[in-house]
């Protein structure tokens, strides 16, 4: 199979769709990889690294997309990138199509593109093996992001996360006890913060309590969310519904009742955001203030540690990439349930009901 690895064209996306190690695995299995010139620079991979792994370097995005039967990306494609795809080819990446513009979905259907979303690959036990390592990275990064944004020189309240003897630590509220929420709790506790975690269900809270015995756990009712956010210095939204837009669990009224210059980090923003006042930002301008509260809503948080992120998600995605390349898209969908559940569009048809909705606008405003 011919496999294209283009350079990511979204601003501040430093990751790449495949590492040189992944290219080597594919080429050793008889596949041809076309890597766009300098596609891996943001993650510290040179063209020479890819050539040593057996890739062929191409010098335009049109060629990286146009030569490929299978395109491997990180971020959801721009409309221009979809236009570069040949009809009836396959694209795989962290697509987050439930929060994409409807005209992009329409174009995928028109060209009969098979769109496979890594973040929706799911095992029978409910685990999401490709999304998990990136969720861990995002969760762990929240503590260092919060520590910086609470500083006065970044507009924060001037609070040290861990406090000092005689001075209480920061109050951190995390909504969602999944992978990213649990990793965030561990990171904040490591800084010495006081952490409260809320979730709709007891089972994830029970798992979190075992890993983080010093965290307070609560059921995420509207009343509990409002009460905890009111005293929080930091609120982390880590809400996920696989394959769907994130539900709004933090209303504008809740935000308005938070303490001035407190901080919201919305890790759900790549799925539309779980806070009513959230809107996508980027790594250059990561924050804004609304209702007197600092909002950090960067969709691709792990991109800031691109090399670690690429190695992490390629390690997890490589078995599925190899199955698609070796079996072919049709056979992989038929034979591998974990891949089949991640197919968003195929043969001109929608495979996810969550994509059947009005044009709500792209989550980062890019075409």
pLDDT digits (tens, 9 = 90+) for 157-216: 999 999 999 999 999 999 999 999 999 999 999 999 999 999 999 999 999 999 999 999
- The arithmetic mean of pLDDT across residues 340-348, rounded, is 94
Q: In the sheet that 216-219 helps form, which strands lie side by side, from edge to edge?
A: 216-219, 194-199, 171-175, 234-237, 263-266, 293-296, 287-290
Same domain, 92 and 45: yes
Q: Does the pLDDT at position 261 exceed 50? A: yes
Q: Does the pLDDT at position 353 exceed 80? A: no
Same domain, 110 and 230: no
Reported pTM: 0.87
Q: Report, as residue numbers or ranges, the catalytic residues.
A: 96, 270
Q: Over the stretch 136-169, which tens digit does the pLDDT of each residue have?
A: 999 999 999 999 999 999 999 999 999 999 999 9
Tokens of 250: 């933090």
- The arithmetic mean of pLDDT across residues 213-221, rounded, is 97
What percent of the chain is modeled with pLDDT above 70? 95
Please count the structural domains in the chain.
2
- Determine, yes or no, domain membership for 365: no
Confidence (pLDDT) at 96: 84
Nearest to 314 by CA among 133, 52, 56, 143: 133
3-state secondary structure the chain: CEEEECCCCCCCCCCCCCCHHHHHHHHHCCCEEEEECCCCHHHCCCHHHHHHCCCEEECCHHHHHHCCCEEEEEECCCHHHHHHCCCCCEEEEECCHHHCCHHHHHHHHHCCCEEEEHHHCCCCCCCCCCHHHHHHHHHHHHHHHHHHHCCHHHCCCCCCCCCECCECCCEEEEECCCHHHHHHHHHHHHHCCEEEEEECCHHHHHHHHHHCCCCEEEECCHHHHHHHHHHCCEEEECCCCCCCCCCCCECHHHHHCCCCCCEEEECCHHHCCCECCCCCCCCCCCEEEECCEEEECCCCHHHHHHHHHHHHHHHHHHHHHHHHHHHCHHHHHHHCHHHHCCEEEECCEECCHHHCCCCCCCCCCCC
- Determine, yes or no, domain membership for 360: no
Confidence (pLDDT) at 172: 98
Q: Over the stretch 288-338, which tens digit does the pLDDT of each residue have?
A: 999 999 999 999 899 999 999 999 999 999 999 999 999 999 999 999 999
- Determine, yes or no, domain membership for 363: no
Q: Output 270 or 317, whichever has higher pLDDT.
A: 317
Same domain, 50 and 174: no
- Determine, yes or no, domain membership for 181: yes
Confidence (pLDDT) at 355: 60
- Determine, yes or no, domain membership for 367: no
**Of 122-131, 289-298, 313-322, 358-367, which range is least confident?**
358-367
Confidence (pLDDT) at 366: 45
In whole angstroms, give the CA distance from residue 97 to residue 95.
Answer: 5
Nearest to 273 by CA among 290, 294, 254, 295: 295
Same domain, 285 and 149: yes
Instruction: Provide the pairing of β-strand 343-346 with 114-117.
Output: antiparallel
Q: Which domain holds residue 235?
A: 131-299
Same domain, 139 and 266: yes
Q: Does the pLDDT at position 360 exceed 60? A: no
Instruction: CATH number of the domain at 88, please.
Output: 3.40.50.720
**What Cα–Cα distance (Å) separates residue 19 from each residue in 30, 33, 52, 140, 142?**
17, 11, 12, 23, 25
Same domain, 53 and 99: yes
- Determine, yes or no, domain membership for 361: no
Q: Over the stretch 60-92, which tens digit does the pLDDT of each residue have?
A: 999 999 999 999 999 999 999 999 999 999 999
Last residue within a domain, chosen from 275, 299, 323: 299
Nearest to 74 by CA among 268, 345, 309, 282: 309
Q: Does the pLDDT at position 361 exceed 50? A: no
Same domain, 158 and 280: yes
In whole angstroms, give the CA distance from residue 177 to residue 34.
Answer: 40
- Determine, yes or no, domain membership for 319: yes
Nearest to 8 by CA among 234, 299, 223, 211: 299
Same domain, 186 and 275: yes
Confidence (pLDDT) at 57: 98
């Amino acid at each position: 199979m011919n496999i294209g690895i283009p350079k990511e064209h979204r601003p501040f996306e430093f990751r790449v769709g495949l590492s040189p190690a992944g290219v080597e695995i594919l080429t050793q299995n008889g596949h041809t990889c076309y890597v766009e010139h300098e596609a891996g620079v943001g993650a510290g991979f040179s063209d020479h690294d890819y050539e040593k792994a057996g890739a062929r370097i191409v010098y335009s995005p049109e060629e990286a997309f146009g030569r490929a039967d299978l395109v491997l990306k990180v971020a959801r494609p721009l409309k221009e990138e979809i236009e570069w795809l040949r009809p009836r080819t396959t694209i795989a990446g962290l697509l987050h199509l439930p929060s994409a513009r409807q005209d992009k979905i329409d174009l995928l259907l028109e060209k009969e593109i098979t769109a496979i979303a890594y973040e929706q690959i799911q095992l029978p036990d409910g685990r999401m093996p490709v999304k998990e390592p990136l969720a861990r990275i995002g969760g762990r990064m929240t503590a260092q992001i919060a520590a910086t944004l609470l500083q006065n020189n970044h507009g924060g309240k001037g609070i040290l996360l861990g406090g000092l003897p005689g001075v209480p630590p920061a109050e951190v509220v995390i909504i969602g006890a999944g992978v990213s929420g649990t990793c965030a709790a561990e990171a904040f506790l490591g800084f010495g913060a006081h952490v409260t975690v809320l979730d709709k269900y007891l089972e994830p809270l029970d798992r979190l309590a075992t890993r983080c015995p010093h965290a307070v756990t609560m059921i995420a009712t509207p009343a509990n969310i409002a009460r905890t956010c009111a005293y929080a210095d930091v609120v982390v939204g880590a809400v996920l519904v696989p394959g769907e837009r994130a539900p709004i669990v933090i209303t504008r009224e809740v935000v308005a009742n938070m303490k001035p210059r407190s901080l919201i980090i919305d890790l759900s923003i790549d799925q539309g955001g779980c806070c009513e006042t959230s809107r996508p930002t980027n790594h250059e301008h990561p924050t804004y203030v609304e209702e007197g509260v600092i909002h950090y809503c960067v969709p691709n948080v792990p991109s800031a540690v691109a090399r670690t992120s690429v190695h992490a998600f390629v390690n997890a995605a490589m078995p599925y990439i190899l199955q698609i390349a070796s079996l072919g898209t049709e056979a992989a969908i038929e034979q591998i349930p974990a891949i089949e559940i991640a197919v968003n569009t195929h043969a001109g048809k929608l495979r996810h009901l969550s994509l059947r909705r009005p044009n709500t606008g792209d989550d980062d405003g890019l075409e």
